[in-house]
Amino acid sequence: MTIAKRLLAALTGGCLCIAASAHIDRGYQNPIIPGMYPDPSVCRVGNDYYLVNSTFQYFPGVPIFHSNDLIHWNQIGNVLDRPSQLPLKTANAWLGIYAPTIRYNNGTYYMVTSNIGNSNGTKSNFFVTATDPAGPWSEPIWLDQGGIDPSFYFEDGKCYFTSNPDIGIWLCEIDPKTGKQLSESKLIWEGTGGRHPEAPHIYKKDGYYYLVIAEGGTEMGHMVTIARSRDIYGPYEANPDNPILYHQRKITQASPIQGTGHADLVQAADGSWWMVCLAFRPQINGMHLTGRETYLAPVEWNADGWPVVNGNGTISIDMDVPTLPQTPTKSREAVYDFARMTGFGHEWVHLRNPHFENYRFTSRGLELTGTSATMTSIESPTFAALRQQDIDFTLTSTFSMTDALPGAEAGISIYMDVTSHYDLFIRENADSTQSLVLSYQLHSISGNKAIVPLPAGENVTVKIDGKDDRYTFSYSTGGAEFTTLGSLDTRFLSTETAGGFTGVTIGAFAAGHCTGIFRNLSYTPAK
Protein backbone atom coordinates (compact mmCIF):
# COMPACT_ATOMS: atom_id res chain seq x y z
CA MET A 1 0.00 0.00 0.00
CA THR A 2 1.42 3.36 -0.98
CA ILE A 3 1.74 6.25 1.46
CA ALA A 4 -1.06 8.03 -0.42
CA LYS A 5 -3.36 5.05 0.05
CA ARG A 6 -2.49 4.86 3.73
CA LEU A 7 -3.35 8.51 4.21
CA LEU A 8 -6.62 8.03 2.33
CA ALA A 9 -7.46 5.06 4.52
CA ALA A 10 -6.70 7.11 7.63
CA LEU A 11 -9.01 9.91 6.46
CA THR A 12 -11.79 7.45 5.73
CA GLY A 13 -11.47 5.59 9.01
CA GLY A 14 -9.54 2.64 7.64
CA CYS A 15 -12.28 1.58 5.23
CA LEU A 16 -9.89 -0.56 3.23
CA CYS A 17 -10.72 -3.36 5.69
CA ILE A 18 -13.18 -5.82 4.16
CA ALA A 19 -15.19 -7.98 6.52
CA ALA A 20 -15.62 -11.69 6.12
CA SER A 21 -19.27 -12.57 5.63
CA ALA A 22 -19.37 -14.65 8.80
CA HIS A 23 -18.72 -11.62 11.00
CA ILE A 24 -21.91 -10.70 12.82
CA ASP A 25 -20.74 -8.33 15.60
CA ARG A 26 -19.01 -4.99 15.30
CA GLY A 27 -16.55 -2.97 17.29
CA TYR A 28 -14.38 -3.40 20.36
CA GLN A 29 -11.94 -1.46 22.51
CA ASN A 30 -8.18 -1.73 22.74
CA PRO A 31 -6.22 -2.83 24.63
CA ILE A 32 -7.91 -6.21 24.68
CA ILE A 33 -5.74 -7.21 27.67
CA PRO A 34 -4.73 -4.06 29.58
CA GLY A 35 -1.86 -3.76 31.99
CA MET A 36 1.51 -5.50 31.94
CA TYR A 37 0.76 -8.19 29.35
CA PRO A 38 3.47 -7.61 26.72
CA ASP A 39 4.80 -9.60 23.77
CA PRO A 40 1.56 -11.42 22.92
CA SER A 41 1.55 -14.64 20.94
CA VAL A 42 -1.62 -16.41 19.81
CA CYS A 43 -2.70 -19.66 18.23
CA ARG A 44 -6.04 -21.12 17.18
CA VAL A 45 -7.27 -24.66 17.73
CA GLY A 46 -10.70 -25.11 16.16
CA ASN A 47 -12.85 -22.26 17.47
CA ASP A 48 -10.63 -21.68 20.49
CA TYR A 49 -7.82 -19.13 20.76
CA TYR A 50 -4.96 -19.19 23.23
CA LEU A 51 -2.64 -16.30 24.04
CA VAL A 52 0.50 -15.94 26.17
CA ASN A 53 2.60 -13.00 27.42
CA SER A 54 5.99 -12.19 28.92
CA THR A 55 6.42 -11.94 32.70
CA PHE A 56 10.10 -11.00 33.32
CA GLN A 57 10.81 -10.99 37.11
CA TYR A 58 7.39 -12.25 38.20
CA PHE A 59 6.23 -15.70 39.32
CA PRO A 60 4.27 -17.60 38.08
CA GLY A 61 5.39 -17.00 34.54
CA VAL A 62 3.68 -16.72 31.15
CA PRO A 63 -0.04 -16.21 31.74
CA ILE A 64 -2.21 -18.13 29.29
CA PHE A 65 -5.59 -16.83 28.17
CA HIS A 66 -8.50 -18.38 26.29
CA SER A 67 -11.00 -16.68 23.99
CA ASN A 68 -13.64 -17.55 21.44
CA ASP A 69 -13.72 -14.12 19.78
CA LEU A 70 -10.16 -12.70 20.06
CA ILE A 71 -11.53 -9.75 22.04
CA HIS A 72 -12.65 -11.11 25.40
CA TRP A 73 -10.02 -13.18 27.19
CA ASN A 74 -10.13 -15.32 30.31
CA GLN A 75 -6.93 -16.35 32.05
CA ILE A 76 -6.95 -20.13 32.45
CA GLY A 77 -3.57 -20.53 34.10
CA ASN A 78 0.14 -19.78 34.00
CA VAL A 79 2.40 -21.92 31.86
CA LEU A 80 5.39 -21.75 34.23
CA ASP A 81 3.95 -22.37 37.68
CA ARG A 82 6.74 -24.40 39.33
CA PRO A 83 10.17 -23.21 40.50
CA SER A 84 11.76 -26.06 38.51
CA GLN A 85 10.35 -24.48 35.33
CA LEU A 86 11.08 -20.91 36.35
CA PRO A 87 14.26 -20.18 38.30
CA LEU A 88 14.35 -16.41 38.74
CA LYS A 89 17.07 -16.04 41.41
CA THR A 90 17.83 -12.32 41.48
CA ALA A 91 15.90 -11.22 38.37
CA ASN A 92 14.93 -7.57 38.13
CA ALA A 93 12.66 -5.68 35.71
CA TRP A 94 15.20 -6.17 32.90
CA LEU A 95 15.58 -9.92 33.33
CA GLY A 96 13.59 -13.14 33.55
CA ILE A 97 11.04 -14.41 31.04
CA TYR A 98 11.14 -12.68 27.65
CA ALA A 99 8.69 -12.97 24.76
CA PRO A 100 7.02 -16.41 24.55
CA THR A 101 5.44 -18.03 21.49
CA ILE A 102 2.55 -20.50 21.68
CA ARG A 103 1.90 -23.02 18.92
CA TYR A 104 -0.16 -26.20 18.46
CA ASN A 105 0.82 -29.27 16.46
CA ASN A 106 -0.64 -32.77 16.33
CA GLY A 107 -2.36 -32.72 19.71
CA THR A 108 0.41 -30.93 21.58
CA TYR A 109 0.75 -27.29 22.68
CA TYR A 110 4.22 -25.78 22.64
CA MET A 111 5.39 -22.66 24.48
CA VAL A 112 8.91 -21.49 23.70
CA THR A 113 10.58 -18.56 25.46
CA SER A 114 13.78 -17.15 26.96
CA ASN A 115 14.86 -16.93 30.59
CA ILE A 116 17.44 -14.13 30.63
CA GLY A 117 19.87 -13.97 33.53
CA ASN A 118 18.64 -17.25 34.97
CA SER A 119 19.47 -19.65 32.17
CA ASN A 120 20.64 -23.23 32.09
CA GLY A 121 24.37 -22.61 31.85
CA THR A 122 25.02 -20.90 28.52
CA LYS A 123 21.53 -21.63 27.18
CA SER A 124 18.66 -19.14 27.54
CA ASN A 125 15.94 -20.51 25.21
CA PHE A 126 13.69 -23.40 26.17
CA PHE A 127 10.26 -24.84 25.49
CA VAL A 128 7.60 -26.71 27.42
CA THR A 129 4.70 -28.82 26.18
CA ALA A 130 1.17 -29.74 27.26
CA THR A 131 -1.83 -31.61 25.92
CA ASP A 132 -4.16 -29.22 27.78
CA PRO A 133 -3.34 -25.49 27.51
CA ALA A 134 -4.55 -25.01 31.10
CA GLY A 135 -1.71 -27.31 32.15
CA PRO A 136 0.17 -28.97 33.55
CA TRP A 137 3.10 -28.09 31.31
CA SER A 138 6.30 -30.09 31.08
CA GLU A 139 9.69 -29.35 32.50
CA PRO A 140 11.90 -27.13 30.27
CA ILE A 141 13.67 -28.55 27.25
CA TRP A 142 16.65 -26.32 26.47
CA LEU A 143 17.69 -25.21 22.98
CA ASP A 144 21.14 -24.52 21.54
CA GLN A 145 20.39 -21.50 19.34
CA GLY A 146 20.60 -18.35 21.43
CA GLY A 147 19.06 -14.91 21.15
CA ILE A 148 15.62 -13.85 22.38
CA ASP A 149 12.01 -13.94 21.20
CA PRO A 150 12.09 -17.56 20.01
CA SER A 151 9.36 -19.04 17.84
CA PHE A 152 8.36 -22.40 16.32
CA TYR A 153 6.96 -23.18 12.90
CA PHE A 154 5.68 -26.69 12.10
CA GLU A 155 5.36 -28.15 8.59
CA ASP A 156 5.44 -31.67 7.11
CA GLY A 157 6.64 -33.29 10.31
CA LYS A 158 9.43 -30.75 10.79
CA CYS A 159 9.85 -28.11 13.49
CA TYR A 160 11.68 -24.92 12.59
CA PHE A 161 13.08 -22.61 15.26
CA THR A 162 13.70 -18.87 14.87
CA SER A 163 15.37 -16.34 17.17
CA ASN A 164 17.98 -13.56 16.95
CA PRO A 165 21.29 -14.86 18.33
CA ASP A 166 23.04 -12.15 16.33
CA ILE A 167 21.75 -9.06 14.53
CA GLY A 168 18.99 -10.40 12.32
CA ILE A 169 16.71 -13.43 12.32
CA TRP A 170 18.19 -16.92 12.32
CA LEU A 171 16.53 -20.25 11.49
CA CYS A 172 17.28 -23.89 12.18
CA GLU A 173 15.45 -27.20 12.38
CA ILE A 174 15.07 -28.91 15.76
CA ASP A 175 13.68 -32.12 17.17
CA PRO A 176 10.46 -31.05 18.97
CA LYS A 177 10.75 -33.90 21.44
CA THR A 178 14.34 -33.50 22.57
CA GLY A 179 15.22 -29.96 21.49
CA LYS A 180 18.27 -31.27 19.58
CA GLN A 181 19.29 -28.96 16.75
CA LEU A 182 19.14 -30.83 13.45
CA SER A 183 20.57 -28.21 11.06
CA GLU A 184 22.98 -25.31 11.16
CA SER A 185 21.60 -21.94 12.16
CA LYS A 186 21.16 -19.69 9.12
CA LEU A 187 20.62 -15.94 8.90
CA ILE A 188 17.40 -15.50 6.88
CA TRP A 189 16.62 -11.78 7.20
CA GLU A 190 18.19 -8.69 8.77
CA GLY A 191 15.04 -6.60 8.65
CA THR A 192 14.61 -3.23 6.97
CA GLY A 193 17.37 -1.44 8.85
CA GLY A 194 15.63 -0.68 12.13
CA ARG A 195 17.42 -1.32 15.41
CA HIS A 196 16.91 -4.59 17.27
CA PRO A 197 15.30 -6.88 14.66
CA GLU A 198 13.47 -9.41 16.84
CA ALA A 199 10.16 -11.18 17.53
CA PRO A 200 10.19 -13.44 14.43
CA HIS A 201 7.15 -15.50 13.46
CA ILE A 202 6.75 -17.57 10.28
CA TYR A 203 3.45 -18.30 8.53
CA LYS A 204 2.63 -19.90 5.17
CA LYS A 205 0.01 -18.54 2.78
CA ASP A 206 -0.51 -19.04 -0.96
CA GLY A 207 2.85 -20.73 -1.42
CA TYR A 208 4.84 -18.05 0.43
CA TYR A 209 6.57 -18.18 3.77
CA TYR A 210 5.89 -14.88 5.52
CA LEU A 211 8.29 -13.70 8.20
CA VAL A 212 6.90 -11.06 10.58
CA ILE A 213 9.35 -9.32 12.91
CA ALA A 214 9.62 -6.26 15.15
CA GLU A 215 12.17 -3.48 14.69
CA GLY A 216 13.04 -0.18 16.30
CA GLY A 217 13.32 -1.31 19.91
CA THR A 218 10.36 -1.70 22.22
CA GLU A 219 9.94 2.06 22.70
CA MET A 220 8.26 4.88 20.77
CA GLY A 221 9.82 3.74 17.48
CA HIS A 222 8.66 0.13 17.71
CA MET A 223 7.20 -1.24 14.46
CA VAL A 224 6.16 -4.38 12.63
CA THR A 225 7.78 -5.36 9.33
CA ILE A 226 7.35 -8.36 7.03
CA ALA A 227 9.17 -10.28 4.29
CA ARG A 228 8.38 -13.40 2.27
CA SER A 229 10.03 -16.21 0.39
CA ARG A 230 9.10 -19.32 -1.59
CA ASP A 231 11.69 -21.22 0.47
CA ILE A 232 11.67 -21.19 4.26
CA TYR A 233 15.44 -20.61 4.29
CA GLY A 234 15.12 -17.63 1.95
CA PRO A 235 16.06 -15.38 0.34
CA TYR A 236 13.33 -13.17 1.84
CA GLU A 237 11.85 -10.23 -0.06
CA ALA A 238 10.80 -7.26 2.04
CA ASN A 239 7.33 -5.77 1.67
CA PRO A 240 7.74 -2.48 -0.26
CA ASP A 241 5.17 -0.90 2.08
CA ASN A 242 7.03 -1.74 5.31
CA PRO A 243 6.39 -1.11 8.13
CA ILE A 244 2.93 -2.65 8.21
CA LEU A 245 2.25 -1.31 11.73
CA TYR A 246 3.91 1.88 12.95
CA HIS A 247 2.75 4.79 15.12
CA GLN A 248 5.65 7.20 14.59
CA ARG A 249 3.90 8.91 11.68
CA LYS A 250 2.20 12.27 11.42
CA ILE A 251 -1.25 10.63 11.36
CA THR A 252 -0.60 8.95 14.72
CA GLN A 253 1.48 11.58 16.52
CA ALA A 254 -1.48 12.41 18.77
CA SER A 255 -2.64 8.81 19.18
CA PRO A 256 -3.17 7.57 22.75
CA ILE A 257 -1.42 4.38 21.59
CA GLN A 258 2.33 4.33 20.99
CA GLY A 259 5.18 1.81 20.76
CA THR A 260 3.26 -0.61 18.52
CA GLY A 261 5.18 -3.77 17.69
CA HIS A 262 5.94 -7.41 18.49
CA ALA A 263 3.06 -8.87 16.50
CA ASP A 264 1.66 -12.32 15.88
CA LEU A 265 -0.90 -13.27 13.20
CA VAL A 266 -3.76 -15.72 13.41
CA GLN A 267 -6.41 -16.82 10.94
CA ALA A 268 -9.88 -17.23 12.41
CA ALA A 269 -12.15 -20.16 11.64
CA ASP A 270 -14.21 -17.92 9.32
CA GLY A 271 -11.15 -17.18 7.19
CA SER A 272 -10.50 -13.67 8.52
CA TRP A 273 -7.02 -12.66 9.64
CA TRP A 274 -6.07 -10.80 12.80
CA MET A 275 -2.98 -9.41 14.46
CA VAL A 276 -2.17 -9.19 18.14
CA CYS A 277 0.61 -6.84 19.14
CA LEU A 278 1.97 -4.86 22.05
CA ALA A 279 1.74 -1.12 22.59
CA PHE A 280 1.50 1.28 25.49
CA ARG A 281 -0.71 4.18 26.55
CA PRO A 282 1.35 7.30 27.37
CA GLN A 283 0.29 9.27 30.41
CA ILE A 284 1.61 12.63 31.55
CA ASN A 285 4.65 13.87 29.60
CA GLY A 286 4.52 10.83 27.34
CA MET A 287 5.43 8.39 30.11
CA HIS A 288 3.55 5.18 30.86
CA LEU A 289 2.96 3.02 33.93
CA THR A 290 0.63 0.23 32.86
CA GLY A 291 3.37 -1.47 30.88
CA ARG A 292 3.18 -2.78 27.37
CA GLU A 293 -0.28 -4.18 26.77
CA THR A 294 -2.00 -6.50 24.30
CA TYR A 295 -3.85 -5.00 21.30
CA LEU A 296 -5.83 -6.45 18.40
CA ALA A 297 -6.30 -5.34 14.78
CA PRO A 298 -7.91 -6.84 11.66
CA VAL A 299 -5.70 -7.77 8.72
CA GLU A 300 -6.54 -7.90 5.01
CA TRP A 301 -4.31 -9.16 2.19
CA ASN A 302 -3.87 -6.81 -0.78
CA ALA A 303 -3.71 -7.70 -4.46
CA ASP A 304 0.06 -8.14 -4.25
CA GLY A 305 -0.25 -10.68 -1.47
CA TRP A 306 0.89 -8.47 1.44
CA PRO A 307 -0.98 -7.99 4.72
CA VAL A 308 -2.51 -4.59 5.50
CA VAL A 309 -3.23 -3.86 9.16
CA ASN A 310 -6.54 -2.11 9.82
CA GLY A 311 -6.53 -0.47 6.41
CA ASN A 312 -3.78 2.04 7.15
CA GLY A 313 -1.10 0.43 9.31
CA THR A 314 -2.39 1.86 12.59
CA ILE A 315 -4.64 0.84 15.47
CA SER A 316 -6.94 2.79 17.78
CA ILE A 317 -8.66 2.54 21.14
CA ASP A 318 -12.14 2.33 19.62
CA MET A 319 -12.09 -0.15 16.78
CA ASP A 320 -15.17 0.21 14.60
CA VAL A 321 -14.67 -2.97 12.57
CA PRO A 322 -16.59 -6.21 11.98
CA THR A 323 -15.69 -8.84 14.52
CA LEU A 324 -16.23 -12.48 15.30
CA PRO A 325 -19.35 -13.29 17.35
CA GLN A 326 -18.53 -11.85 20.74
CA THR A 327 -18.59 -13.71 24.06
CA PRO A 328 -17.98 -11.14 26.82
CA THR A 329 -16.14 -12.08 30.01
CA LYS A 330 -16.20 -10.60 33.52
CA SER A 331 -15.36 -6.99 34.36
CA ARG A 332 -11.94 -5.96 35.67
CA GLU A 333 -13.50 -4.74 38.91
CA ALA A 334 -12.36 -7.19 41.56
CA VAL A 335 -13.15 -7.63 45.27
CA TYR A 336 -11.09 -10.12 47.27
CA ASP A 337 -12.44 -11.28 50.63
CA PHE A 338 -9.36 -13.17 51.73
CA ALA A 339 -11.08 -14.99 54.59
CA ARG A 340 -13.25 -16.74 52.02
CA MET A 341 -10.32 -17.71 49.77
CA THR A 342 -8.11 -20.79 49.86
CA GLY A 343 -5.46 -19.66 47.39
CA PHE A 344 -4.40 -17.07 44.86
CA GLY A 345 -6.13 -16.76 41.50
CA HIS A 346 -4.21 -16.97 38.24
CA GLU A 347 -3.95 -13.16 38.08
CA TRP A 348 -1.81 -12.82 41.22
CA VAL A 349 1.99 -12.62 40.94
CA HIS A 350 5.03 -12.58 43.20
CA LEU A 351 8.55 -11.26 42.81
CA ARG A 352 11.06 -13.88 41.74
CA ASN A 353 10.68 -17.30 43.41
CA PRO A 354 8.35 -16.85 46.40
CA HIS A 355 8.54 -18.71 49.69
CA PHE A 356 4.97 -19.96 49.86
CA GLU A 357 5.23 -20.97 53.52
CA ASN A 358 4.97 -17.23 54.20
CA TYR A 359 1.54 -16.95 52.55
CA ARG A 360 -1.54 -18.38 54.34
CA PHE A 361 -5.29 -18.01 53.92
CA THR A 362 -7.05 -18.26 57.28
CA SER A 363 -10.33 -17.22 58.87
CA ARG A 364 -8.65 -13.86 59.61
CA GLY A 365 -7.73 -13.25 55.96
CA LEU A 366 -4.48 -13.39 54.03
CA GLU A 367 -1.65 -13.74 56.53
CA LEU A 368 1.77 -12.69 55.27
CA THR A 369 4.87 -13.56 57.29
CA GLY A 370 7.62 -11.01 56.88
CA THR A 371 11.27 -11.92 56.38
CA SER A 372 14.57 -10.08 56.03
CA ALA A 373 13.71 -9.52 52.34
CA THR A 374 12.19 -6.07 51.93
CA MET A 375 10.67 -4.27 48.94
CA THR A 376 14.14 -2.87 48.26
CA SER A 377 15.76 -6.34 48.32
CA ILE A 378 16.74 -8.25 45.19
CA GLU A 379 15.58 -11.41 46.96
CA SER A 380 11.93 -12.47 47.05
CA PRO A 381 9.97 -10.43 49.60
CA THR A 382 6.62 -11.59 50.90
CA PHE A 383 4.52 -9.79 48.31
CA ALA A 384 1.33 -10.73 46.43
CA ALA A 385 0.34 -8.33 43.68
CA LEU A 386 -1.99 -7.52 40.82
CA ARG A 387 -1.08 -5.64 37.66
CA GLN A 388 -2.19 -2.02 37.38
CA GLN A 389 -4.51 -2.26 34.37
CA ASP A 390 -6.02 1.22 34.28
CA ILE A 391 -4.69 4.77 34.31
CA ASP A 392 -7.59 5.81 36.57
CA PHE A 393 -8.52 3.41 39.36
CA THR A 394 -9.19 3.05 43.09
CA LEU A 395 -7.68 0.35 45.29
CA THR A 396 -8.68 -0.22 48.92
CA SER A 397 -7.49 -2.71 51.52
CA THR A 398 -8.02 -3.31 55.23
CA PHE A 399 -5.16 -4.80 57.24
CA SER A 400 -3.29 -4.92 60.54
CA MET A 401 0.10 -6.12 61.77
CA THR A 402 0.79 -8.42 64.73
CA ASP A 403 3.73 -10.32 66.28
CA ALA A 404 6.01 -7.51 65.20
CA LEU A 405 9.51 -6.51 66.21
CA PRO A 406 10.78 -2.94 65.77
CA GLY A 407 11.26 -1.98 62.12
CA ALA A 408 8.77 -4.51 60.75
CA GLU A 409 6.38 -3.36 58.03
CA ALA A 410 3.13 -4.58 56.46
CA GLY A 411 1.01 -2.80 53.89
CA ILE A 412 0.48 -1.99 50.23
CA SER A 413 3.21 -1.35 47.64
CA ILE A 414 2.87 0.33 44.26
CA TYR A 415 5.81 -1.40 42.66
CA MET A 416 7.73 -0.88 39.42
CA ASP A 417 11.11 -2.31 40.40
CA VAL A 418 13.35 -2.83 43.39
CA THR A 419 14.62 0.73 42.88
CA SER A 420 11.26 2.37 42.24
CA HIS A 421 8.15 1.94 44.41
CA TYR A 422 5.71 3.77 46.69
CA ASP A 423 4.70 2.03 49.93
CA LEU A 424 1.86 2.67 52.38
CA PHE A 425 2.33 0.50 55.47
CA ILE A 426 2.11 -0.04 59.20
CA ARG A 427 5.51 0.17 60.92
CA GLU A 428 6.42 -1.23 64.34
CA ASN A 429 8.26 1.42 66.31
CA ALA A 430 11.00 0.92 68.90
CA ASP A 431 8.59 1.72 71.77
CA SER A 432 6.07 -0.96 70.63
CA THR A 433 3.75 1.63 69.12
CA GLN A 434 2.74 1.58 65.48
CA SER A 435 2.63 4.20 62.76
CA LEU A 436 1.14 4.42 59.30
CA VAL A 437 3.89 5.45 56.89
CA LEU A 438 3.80 6.64 53.28
CA SER A 439 7.30 6.21 51.80
CA TYR A 440 9.05 6.40 48.46
CA GLN A 441 12.07 4.68 46.93
CA LEU A 442 13.24 6.35 43.71
CA HIS A 443 16.62 4.93 42.75
CA SER A 444 19.08 6.49 45.23
CA ILE A 445 16.46 8.80 46.76
CA SER A 446 14.24 7.50 49.54
CA GLY A 447 12.20 9.01 52.32
CA ASN A 448 8.86 9.33 54.05
CA LYS A 449 6.06 11.48 52.71
CA ALA A 450 3.88 11.14 55.81
CA ILE A 451 3.83 9.39 59.21
CA VAL A 452 0.79 9.20 61.51
CA PRO A 453 0.40 7.25 64.80
CA LEU A 454 -1.87 4.20 64.97
CA PRO A 455 -3.17 2.15 67.91
CA ALA A 456 -1.06 -1.01 68.00
CA GLY A 457 -2.69 -3.96 66.30
CA GLU A 458 -5.68 -1.97 65.00
CA ASN A 459 -7.12 -2.44 61.54
CA VAL A 460 -6.49 0.36 59.10
CA THR A 461 -8.22 0.78 55.77
CA VAL A 462 -6.17 2.45 53.06
CA LYS A 463 -7.28 3.87 49.75
CA ILE A 464 -5.14 4.61 46.71
CA ASP A 465 -6.60 6.69 43.88
CA GLY A 466 -4.63 6.41 40.66
CA LYS A 467 -4.85 9.20 38.11
CA ASP A 468 -2.90 10.29 35.05
CA ASP A 469 -0.34 12.29 37.03
CA ARG A 470 -0.82 11.31 40.70
CA TYR A 471 -1.31 8.51 43.18
CA THR A 472 -3.28 9.86 46.15
CA PHE A 473 -3.07 7.97 49.45
CA SER A 474 -5.74 8.03 52.18
CA TYR A 475 -6.57 6.05 55.32
CA SER A 476 -9.39 5.37 57.76
CA THR A 477 -9.56 3.78 61.22
CA GLY A 478 -12.57 2.71 63.21
CA GLY A 479 -15.00 3.41 60.40
CA ALA A 480 -14.09 7.08 60.20
CA GLU A 481 -13.99 9.02 56.97
CA PHE A 482 -10.85 8.80 54.89
CA THR A 483 -8.03 11.21 55.67
CA THR A 484 -5.63 12.10 52.88
CA LEU A 485 -1.95 11.45 53.64
CA GLY A 486 -0.59 12.93 50.44
CA SER A 487 0.03 12.43 46.74
CA LEU A 488 3.05 11.20 44.81
CA ASP A 489 3.94 11.81 41.16
CA THR A 490 3.24 8.91 38.79
CA ARG A 491 6.07 9.77 36.43
CA PHE A 492 8.73 8.49 38.83
CA LEU A 493 7.33 4.97 38.53
CA SER A 494 7.04 5.15 34.74
CA THR A 495 9.02 2.85 32.49
CA GLU A 496 10.81 5.86 31.04
CA THR A 497 12.06 6.96 34.49
CA ALA A 498 12.41 3.72 36.42
CA GLY A 499 13.61 1.58 33.50
CA GLY A 500 12.94 -2.08 32.87
CA PHE A 501 10.44 -3.92 30.69
CA THR A 502 7.55 -4.24 33.10
CA GLY A 503 4.65 -2.13 34.30
CA VAL A 504 3.38 -1.28 37.76
CA THR A 505 2.01 -3.95 40.08
CA ILE A 506 0.10 -3.21 43.31
CA GLY A 507 -0.21 -5.59 46.21
CA ALA A 508 0.18 -6.59 49.83
CA PHE A 509 3.56 -7.11 51.50
CA ALA A 510 5.18 -7.86 54.85
CA ALA A 511 8.83 -7.33 55.76
CA GLY A 512 10.80 -7.92 58.95
CA HIS A 513 9.63 -10.01 61.90
CA CYS A 514 5.84 -9.68 61.74
CA THR A 515 2.56 -11.04 60.45
CA GLY A 516 0.52 -8.80 58.17
CA ILE A 517 -3.16 -9.72 58.23
CA PHE A 518 -5.04 -8.50 55.15
CA ARG A 519 -8.82 -8.75 55.40
CA ASN A 520 -9.65 -7.69 51.89
CA LEU A 521 -8.52 -5.87 48.79
CA SER A 522 -10.57 -4.30 46.02
CA TYR A 523 -9.56 -2.86 42.66
CA THR A 524 -12.05 -0.68 40.78
CA PRO A 525 -11.35 0.93 37.39
CA ALA A 526 -12.72 4.44 36.90
CA LYS A 527 -16.05 4.50 35.09
The candidate with the shortest Cα–Cα distance to 423, out of 292, 516, 325, is: 516
300 carries an active-site annotation: no
Instruction: Tell me the Cα Rg of the chain.
Output: 24
The pLDDT of residue 479: 80
Identified catalytic residue from 173, 198, 409, 417: 198
Q: What is d(CA 173, CA 190) in angstroms, rounded to the nearest whole number?
A: 19
The pLDDT of residue 89: 86
For the chain of 527 residues, list the mean pLDDT of each consecutive stretch of 10. 38 34 80 98 98 98 98 98 94 94 98 89 91 98 96 98 96 98 98 96 98 96 97 98 96 94 97 98 91 98 98 97 91 92 97 97 98 95 98 97 97 97 97 96 94 90 97 93 96 94 97 98 92
pTM, 2 dp: 0.94
Identified catalytic residue from 39, 190, 264, 293: 39
Q: What is d(CA 266, CA 211) in angstroms, rounded to the nearest whole number?
A: 13
The pLDDT of residue 90: 83
- Domains annotated for the chain, with CATH where assigned, are 3-323 (2.115.10.20), 334-525 (2.60.120.200)
The candidate with the shortest Cα–Cα distance to 1, out of 303, 204, 319, 315, is: 303
The pLDDT of residue 445: 94
The candidate with the shortest Cα–Cα distance to 397, out of 483, 462, 482, 466, is: 462
149 carries an active-site annotation: no
Residues 88-137 have pLDDT tens digits of 988 999 999 999 999 999 999 999 999 998 866 778 999 999 999 999 99
CA angle (303 as vertex; 321, 277 as ends), nearest 5: 45
Q: For residue 233, give the 3-state DSSP assignment.
A: coil
Find the distance separating the first CA and the last CA of the chain, reported in whole Å.
39
Q: What is d(CA 37, CA 280) in angstroms, rounded to the nearest whole number?
A: 10
The pLDDT of residue 274: 98
The pLDDT of residue 527: 77
The pLDDT of residue 20: 38
The pLDDT of residue 22: 55
Residues 242-290 have pLDDT tens digits of 999 999 999 999 999 999 999 999 999 999 999 999 999 999 888 999 9
